[in-house]
Structure 1
Amino acid sequence: MMTDVLVAHSSDVEKESFYKKTYLHVALSILAFIGVEAVLLNVVPERLIAAMFAQRFAWLLIIGVFWLASVLATKWSLSQSKSTQYFGLAFYVLLEAVIFLPLIYIATVYSGGQVIYQAAMLTIAMFTGISAVAFTSKRDFSFLRNIIVIGGFISIGLIVAGMIFGFNLGLWFSVGMVILASATILYQTSKLKDAYSTNQYVGASLQLFASIMLLFWYILSILMSRRS
């Protein structure tokens, strides 16, 4: 039976179990992403991958479809049905793999696979540090919510404008997005106990996974720009 007890109101044993399951699912999602990405790189034709970047309006359509699908995936991951929750998480992992395909391809071909490893290590280190701050600090990070929402709308507007008018957002935009992703991870981690019940660890892992991938995207973009 599913329960609706918030993590904040559960016992210490239940809290520990929730956090263990959440971060286990985050790790499994990352491993699944790596596996799916490897398959896509070997199956999808190179000309199709190149077209995802070459046609900015096609890419804008992909972003729009991704946003709508991610909303559905999030909704499914918070369902009372375990099978629906896992379907939502798996669907989101597949979406991330598709979105990352052109960037990973370019990083592999033109910058070497080493830059992907470096970006991954930096992402893991930052995520670990931010999570430690969230769990050990007694501060209330609720103030970050409005900053994240406003920053998210601004970033989406700039991305869409860049695609429509064909201008490069540049290094400082990527730096700003790294800061935004870091703030999102800090806020989400600090609010896990207040936003989810003890049986919603799949949905919690999806939210953290999404923020980790956003952080990874822009760290990788920064490292690639330094090598170009």
Structure 2
Amino acid sequence: MAYNDLRTARPQSSGVANSVSTNKVLRNTYALLSMTLLFSAVTAGAAVALGIQQMNIFVFLIGAYGLMFLVHKTANSAAGLFSTFAFTGFMGFTLGPILSAYLALPNGGALIMNALAMTGLTFVGLSAIALTTKKDFGFLSNFIMAGAIVLVLAMLAGFFFNIPALSLMVSAGFVLFSSAVILYQTSEIIHRAGETNYILATVTLYVSIYNLFVSLLSILGIMSND
């Protein structure tokens, strides 16, 4: 009887350990995400205050993808935190010209606040769904991969054809894409024991929130003829 009890206790102990590990990753992820979002808001505000009106596309691409590469290279060390704040701070700074353009509009401030509120509510709502239902959203991986390809092609088309409807479709596509990534990444932390790196999880969620905010702001601007 004692041997049987010991055998049945091991899976329970393993389950408790996994639960503790998952909760730790979630806490660390949301704590770091909150700090990076606040830091991004500061750098975005600095860009607006400095009067940065535009961001060179090559500077953006080199900075964004270079720092993203650095995050992945240092994610398993203490330097990963520095890389994460460097990346999110840079991304926040790139929002400066966008925010300045909208603030120059008569209702630009309202559009920004509405996009910010919608982004926050969407993120909280999707995270709550993943956390409370405990549903495995791993099936979204194929949708995310296909969506990324479609969005890249649509963005390339947007460079050659100045079609407002195409811009609206791309922005709407990014809203759906970012929402799927938020569900998928949160689900991965809950259901995949191997997803223990909160730095990579934070960066994934941050990029989704960034794209969600920019896309919602674009949609609101297009719908208000701005």
TM-score interval for Structure 1 and Structure 2 normalised by the shorter chain: 0.7 to 0.9
Equivalent in the alignment of 2:10 = none
Counterpart selection for 1:108 from 100, 103, 106: 103
- The match for 1:123 is 119
The structural deviation recorded for 1:165 is 4.4
Q: Does 2:15 match 1:19? A: no
Letter paired with 1:149: M
Question: May I ask how many residue pairs the two structures share in their alignment?
Answer: 207
List structure 1 segments (4+ residues) > 6 angstroms apart after TM superposition.
none
The answer to whether 1:158 aligns with 2:154 is yes
Contact 1:73/1:91, CA 8 A, preserved across alignment: no
TM-aligned CA deviation for residue 166 of structure 1: 4.2
Q: Is the 8 A contact 1:26 1:205 kept in 2?
A: yes
Higher relative CO (Cα under 8 Å, sequence separation at least 6) belongs to: 1
Give unmatched runs, 5+ long, in structure 2: 1-14
Structure 1 residue 95 corresponds to structure 2 residue 90: yes
Alpha-carbon distance in structure 2 between the residues aligned to 1:148 and 1:165:
25
Pair 1:71 & 2:81 matched: no
Residue 104 of structure 2 aligns to a residue whose secondary structure is: helix
CA contact (8 A) 1:177 1:215 kept: yes
The CA distance in 1 between the partners of 2:97 and 2:155, in whole Å, is 16
**1:157 and 1:98 mapped to 2: Cα distance?**
26
The alpha-carbon deviation at position 9 of structure 1 amounts to 8.2
Amino acid aligned to 1:141: F
CA RMSD of the aligned region, Å? 2.3
Contact 2:68 2:87 in 1 (8 A): no
Deviates more, 1:23-32 or 1:157-166: 157-166
Tell whether the 8 Å contact from 1:181 to 1:215 is kept in structure 2 after alignment: yes
Query: Is it true that 1:132 corresponds to 2:131 in the alignment?
Result: no
Does structure 1 retain, via aligned residues, the 8 Å contact 2:64–2:90? no
**What TM-score comes out, normalization by structure 1 length?**
0.81
CA distance in 1, matches of 2:74, 2:214: 23
Structure 2 vs 1, CA of residues 33 and 45 (structure 1 numbering), >3 Å: closer, same or farther?
closer
Answer yes or no: is the 8 Å Cα contact 2:135–2:187 preserved in 1.
Answer: no
Match of 2:4 in 1: none
Compute the displacement of 1:145 (Å): 0.7
Change (3 A) 1:66 1:28: same
| Conserved? CA contact 1:72–1:88, under 8 Å | no
Separation in 1 of the partners of 2:95 and 2:212? 12
Where in structure 1 are there 5+ consecutive unaligned residues?
Answer: 1-7, 53-57
> Deviation per CA, 1:182-226, whole angstroms, max 9, x where unpaired?
0111111100242422xx222221111111111111111111222
TM-score of the superposed pair, with normalisation by structure 2: 0.81
Percent identical residues: 26
The C-alpha deviation readout for 1:92-135, integer Å capped at 9, x for no partner, is 11231233222211121113212211111111111111111111
Could you tell me how far apart the structure 2 residues matched to 1:220 and 1:130 are? Answer: 19
Rounded to whole Å, the distance in 2 between the matches of 1:185 and 1:226 is 25
How has the CA–CA distance of structure 1 residues 45 and 137 changed in structure 2, closer, same or farther, with 3 Å as cutoff? closer
